[in-house]
Amino acid sequence: MTQLARRMRARRERGERGQSLVEFALIFPIFILLFIGLIEFSITLSVMLNVNYASRDSALISAEVGDAVGADCLILQRLDKALGGGAAHHSGIQQVRIFWADADSTDSQGRLHSGLDTIGVSILFHHDWLTPLPNLVSVPPTGVTFDRSNTMRMEPVL
């Protein structure tokens, strides 16, 4: 290799020395934003699944106890137990509705219905963000509110 070629190669390498640092500085904030978004989405999905499980478990116990004395208390105890602790703590519950359902699993809202008795439990839940995501992107700053409901057919006790 000639001396001129070595000098040209040395100049080229010196000029590219800071290039990777600049690329890292440009990509790092985007990476952090995606990482925080992934964490927040995972936590929110977990909370939604926990609330859905609690609604299904409460609907199951409500189908078992029917209209027995203290049924509402048993349903709410099961709901509290199903939510447990963690991110889906019972402090996020805004409303719990226990209702007779129509054949299409919607609230009968006091209408007379024929056929099998179906009972449902609906939970309105508010989840506050646990990461600084609202400071970084435009999402609702107070969190997200969602409604989960499940219905079960009441079976006669023999």
For the segment 117-145, the average pLDDT, to the nearest whole number, is 88
> What pLDDT score does 26 carry?
93
Task: Give percent of the chain above pLDDT 70.
Answer: 80
CA dihedral angle for residue 90, residue 94, residue 96, residue 97, rounded to 10 degrees: -170
Task: Give percent of the chain above pLDDT 90.
Answer: 34
Helix (H, G, I), strand (E, B) or coil at 127: strand
Helices 71-83 and 19-65: angle between axes, nearest 10 degrees: 160
Task: Identify the burial level of 115 via C-beta atoms within 10 angstroms of its C-beta, where 0-12 means exposed, 13-18 middle and 19 or more buried.
Answer: exposed
For the segment 28-45, the average pLDDT, to the nearest whole number, is 93
pLDDT > 80? residue 86: no
> What pLDDT score does 72 carry?
86
> What pLDDT score does 147 carry?
94
For the segment 28-40, the average pLDDT, to the nearest whole number, is 93
Nearest CA to 74 among 86, 88, 59, 89?
Answer: 59
Supply the pTM of this predicted model. 0.76
List of residues 6+ apart from 157 with CB closer than 8 A: 66
The Cβ of residue 36 has, within 10 Å, a number of other Cβ atoms equal to: 17
